[in-house]
Amino acid sequence: MNPISTNLLVIGGGPGGYVAAIRAGQLGIKTVVVEAAQLGGTCLNIGCIPSKALIHAAEEFDKAQHYASGSAIGISASAPSIDLNRTVAWKDGIVKRLTGGVGALLKKNDVQVINGFARILDGKTVEVKQADGELVRIRCEHLLLAAGSEAVELPFMPYGGMVVSSTEALSPETIPQQLVVVGAGYIGLELGTAYRKLGAEVTVVEAADRLLPAYDAELTKPVGAAIKRLGIDLRLGTSVLGLNAGGNGVRVREANGEETLLSCDRVLVAVGRRPRTGGWGLESLQLDMNGRAVKIDDQCRTSMRNVWAIGDLAGEPMLAHRAMAQGEMVAEIVAGKRRHFTPNAIPAVCFTDPEVVVVGMSPGEAEKAGLDVISANFPFAANGRAMTIESTDGFVRVVARRDNHLILGWQAVGRGVSELSAAFGQSIELGATLEDIAGTIHAHPTLGEAVQEAALRALGHALHI
Amino acid sequence: MGIHVIKMPDLGEGIAEVEVVAWHVKPGDTVKEDQVLADVMTDKATVEIPSPVNGTVTSLGGKLGEAMAVGAELIRLEVEGAGNHSGDSAPAKTATAARQHTDKAAPGGSDTVDEFIPITVAQPETVVTTVTSEATAAPAQAAPQRPASAPAYTQAGGQGSAPAHHGRAAGEKPLAAPAVRQRAWDMGIELQYVTGTGPAARIQHADLDAHVARGQRKAAEGDRRYAVLEGEQAMPVIGMRRKIAEKMAEAKRRIPHFTYVEEIDVTELEALRVQLNARYAGQRPKLTLLPLIMRAVVLAIRKYPSVNARFDDDANIVTTYNPVHLGIAAQTDAGLMVPVVRNAEARDPWSAASEVARLAEAARSGKALREELSGSTITITSLGALGGIVTTPVINRPEVAIVGVNRIVDKPVILNGAMVARKTMNLSSSFDHRVIDGMVAAEFIQTIRGYLECPATLFVE
């Protein structure tokens, strides 16, 4: 079996890599995927899926606790307990089912999966060290780099001991009593909220002066309020200095310059992710870089012919669905089709409580781009369905061009709004105008009515507000 | 990091300038040792220029199609280590620039180095298609004032008036649903040229169809034969075509041509040709008229050697040659080429025929050697059945004469007082009047006529 010759070689079996391989297989391209760990990458194993499982478990537990103290609905229950081992096992079961499914899909499409650690020798040759130590050399016509990203480590507070990354935080053996979360981005807030609901005292430390700094203030306001209600201690404008000498607290410098100690028995560092560019011979290709990421064009070509890069390795936005779309496209280009990666918008969802979803431009971004826009909110407080699920926080906002009413962006915050991303994405990708959405009958009673009402309101004739 | 400058190499044969016919890299590209950076072309040969080092391209020394002096900076690379370039000397100027200097007789001496302009945009395509917006009497639609609540839909009908900028402001991204985008890619249509008739100037499937049907639209309305056509194709004149253009212009600019046309009765010659082909069928190559004409030219040159010459008009020297190196103009895919039958005087008609066939094939397949494409002393040009009745051939400079062969026609001729059918053919020949007098030219052609009308004289001397 030494050496292997293939048309397309994919390094990394994450959402970008495995989708590229499946599509390539469908198109009859001989394809090999090299994956050092489990298929599915960060997303399936240590990211999107396990975090949503843990968040769901925490919500259920929180709900039960809520009933234990009586509820407006009239349900009461005795105080719940949680067997964390079973929770983690349940989550692992979902992960296993999904990664197994990916393996089956690859097999079905005649993709060869090689389990091992890849090392690039040149733009057409990769050496893989398999689990048993055996080296396999693979020659390819096209090399697709899909090695993903890794959690950024704080140099003065490396991972280990009570300092954990999101990976360890998703498979806890115990719930800490006092958890300090470093970073109020979406990973920090999602996990911080889940841990709080599972019973930990949670302090979130953020160097910027507001939470979810990537989103606008109006949008994140309900998240901030909910976090406060949950009893999470949010320290904005605060920077982390390191662990204390005793190893039972984190030293921070508060906004007013004062140094304080946050006592804790676990620290979750969630300060971002960076492209995984080191340790697998990538530098030998001397590709053009865009900061830390591999530089690509609108066809995911790198600066070297027939070497392609997709997903987190190619920089922001580091989102699984972007990687998947890029992977699918690269496979089609390799198959000789003419394709470009030119989406009008890539949705981004934040599974906090309430959830946040953004697709396309915010009003601020549109103005910065020199566009004359109109935007309108429709609050869930005026939506019947929201009331029936006890969640009237939040709103849907639309941004459109003033001249021709072309919809440029959607933002929403509220319970379950992540599912609205499908409607948002479709309307923008299809080039809908406000009239298109306002003229579409939306089912009653659903949260989706707020989408139609936001469009109506932007046109100046909302019906229910 | 250092700078490594690759200079235009000396490709030999005394060539002073070399044309860039393809760039394979652009500024910002990473290149590996031995990677091909550019294709350059001399008079006849195309040569690939490989990179001697690993590095990153920082600038290109010339534009596509530009003639660059040997030794001029071809490409500049950023490399690990010291590089080969100190950085303070100005980049070498191009051949064009150098020419301009001599033309102007620059008083400032060699210090007037032309500005070096690095090219930042690669030009991979050689054919630039410009799709012009539809010719229409309607003025660019100044958006009329509308009620604030109504969106300003672009009204673009099928009635022949397209909105300015295809319904979009200049530079605005074309708006289309994913399925439409994909179909456009598959069809090879650039969406930026497609008029969007949907809301907010959205491009729809029907708009793609309309775009394709453009120019045929009139056909749908009635008569396809009178459809209005649009668009134009700009073709950079580079490579072989540029060489031809330069040679032709130079020949016409420098040489005062005079063209002499005479009618030849080729009845006997044709009869002989047919007879020879019948007699030697299968044993010798089939003869066309060309080898026989070649022989007649060779024999005529013996009497009028001054037409078998090359005129170096810069040095004012006319060189006449004892051997007859006969250029035979040939059409190839790349354009006009003139392969040369060397020492045509030493070949019988069959040998000449097979040599012409061999050279024409070599020229068409691009395998002709440089020596086979240069050094002719006189040229014959013939388009065979397409030869027309009269042509005005352009002299293959620096030669001084070219013999053009026109087509054979059956004609009524008065012979011995009676009208008979004869095969006749014109020879249209041009001469350099600076060194060939009319008398000589006329006598030269009349001599050829003598040989051709009495073909036995081609063989008995």
pLDDT, tens digit, for every residue of A78-107?
Answer: 999 999 999 999 999 999 999 999 999 999
Residue with tokens 């530089």: A295
Cα B364–Cα B367–Cα B369 angle in degrees, nearest 5 = 115
Task: Tell whether the model's pLDDT for residue A401 goes beyond 80.
Answer: yes
pLDDT of residue B167: 67
Whether ipTM tops 0.95, in short, is no
User: In this structure, are residues A26 and A48 in contact, taking their beta carbons and an 8 Å threshold?
Assistant: no
Between B267-279 and B438-453, two packed helices, what is the crossing angle to 10 degrees? 50
Confidence of residue A385 (pLDDT cuts 50, 70, 90): very high
Against a cut of 0.90, is the pTM above it?
Answer: no
**Residue A354: cis peptide before it, omega within 30 degrees of 0:** yes
Q: Distance between CA atoms of B27 and A108, rounded to whole angstroms?
A: 43
Question: What's the whole-number mean pLDDT along residues A14-31?
Answer: 97
The pLDDT confidence band at residue A118, using thresholds 50, 70 and 90, is very high
- Domain A348-458 carries which CATH code? 3.30.390.30
pLDDT of B3 reads 83
Q: What integer pLDDT is reported at residue B39 of this predicted model?
A: 83
Weakest mean pLDDT among A164-168, A269-273, B136-140, B322-326: B136-140
Using CA atoms, how far residue A165 sits from A175, A191, B83, B277, B396, in Å, is 15, 11, 45, 92, 79
Residue in A closest to B196 by C-alpha: A431
Indicate the CATH number for domain A4-46+88-150+274-334: 3.50.50.60
Beta bridge partners of B60: B75
**Residue B112: what residue type?**
T
The confidence score (pLDDT) of residue B229 equals 73
Top-level CATH class of A163-271?
Answer: alpha beta
Which residues does chain A have within 8 Å of residue B154's beta carbon, measured at their own beta carbons? 404
Q: What is the CATH topology of the domain spanning B239-459? A: Chloramphenicol Acetyltransferase (3.30.559)
Provide the b/e sequence for A130-141 (b: ≥16 CB within 10 Å): eeeeeebebebe
Whether chain A has a CB inside 8 Å of the CB on B153: the answer is: yes
Kindly state the tokens that stand for B150: 């109504």
Q: Which of A139-143, A261-265, B222-226, B336-340 has the lowest mean pLDDT?
A: B222-226
Q: Report phi then psi at B352, rounded to 5.
A: -65, -40
For chain A, say whether B28 makes contact (Cβ under 8 Å): yes
- Strand duo A201-205 + A178-182: pairing: parallel
Query: Residue B102 has what pLDDT?
Result: 40
Q: For chain B, positions 108-147, list CB contacts with chain A under 8 A.
A: 143
Q: pLDDT, tens digit, for every residue of A278-305?
A: 999 999 999 999 999 999 999 999 999 9
Closest CA to B438 of B251, B253, B261: B261
Query: How close A338 comes to chain B (CA, Å)?
Result: 6
pLDDT confidence of residue B223: 59
Q: Which fold has domain B162-236?
A: Dihydrolipoamide Transferase (4.10.320)
Residue B27: cis peptide before it, omega within 30 degrees of 0:
no
Q: Which residues of B touch A431 (CB under 8 A)?
A: 175-177, 198-200, 202
Confidence (pLDDT) at B222: 57
Structure tokens at A354: 């309430």
Q: Which of B10, B209, B410, B437 is catalytic?
A: B437
Neighbouring-strand partners of residue A117: A129
CA distance A281 to A149: 15
Q: Where are the domains of chain A?
A: 4-46+88-150+274-334, 163-271, 348-458
Tokens of residue B410, six digits: 């059956």
Q: Where in chain B is the domain with CATH 3.30.559.10?
A: 239-459
Q: What is the DSSP letter of B419?
A: E
Instruction: Supply the pLDDT for residue B228.
Output: 67
- B178 vs A286: CB contact, 8 Å cut-off? no
Average pLDDT over residues A406-427: 96
Distance CA A212, CA A362 (A): 15
Contact B306, B399 (CB under 8 A): no
Using 50 as the pLDDT threshold, list the residues of chain B that sit under it.
87-165, 215, 218-219
Q: Assign A75 a pLDDT band (cuts: 50, 70, 90).
A: very high
- CA–centroid distance for B34 within its chain: 30
Q: Is B370 left (phi over 0), alpha (psi -120 to 50) or beta?
A: alpha
Instruction: Examine the pLDDT at A388 and tell me if it is beyond 60.
Output: yes
Contact B208, B187 (CB under 8 A): yes
3-state secondary structure of A412: strand
Hey, is the C-beta of B178 within 8 angstroms of any chain A C-beta?
Answer: yes
**Token pair 């002299």 in the structure block, residue:** B395
| Backbone phi and psi for residue A381, each to the nearest 5 degrees, phi listed first | -60, -20
Question: How many residues are recorded in chain B?
Answer: 461
**Interchain pair A430, B28: CB under 8 A:** no
- Total number of residues shown for chain A: 465
Could you count the other beta carbons within 10 Å of the beta carbon of residue B189? 17
A223 or B371: whose pLDDT is higher?
A223
State the span(s) of chain B assigned CATH 2.40.50.100. 2-111
Size of interface A-B (CB pairs under 8 A): 57
In angstroms, the separation between the Cα of residue B170 and the nearest Cα of chain A is 14
Q: How far apart are CA A450 and CA A386, in angstroms?
A: 10
Task: List the 34-93 stretch of B: residues with Cβ below 8 A of A.
Answer: 54
Q: Which amino acid appears at position A438 of this protein?
A: A
CATH of segment(s) B2-111 = 2.40.50.100
pLDDT of residue A214: 87
Of the partner residues B30, B54, B200, the one whose CB lies closest to the CB of residue A406: B200
Joined tokens for residue A401 = 């061009």
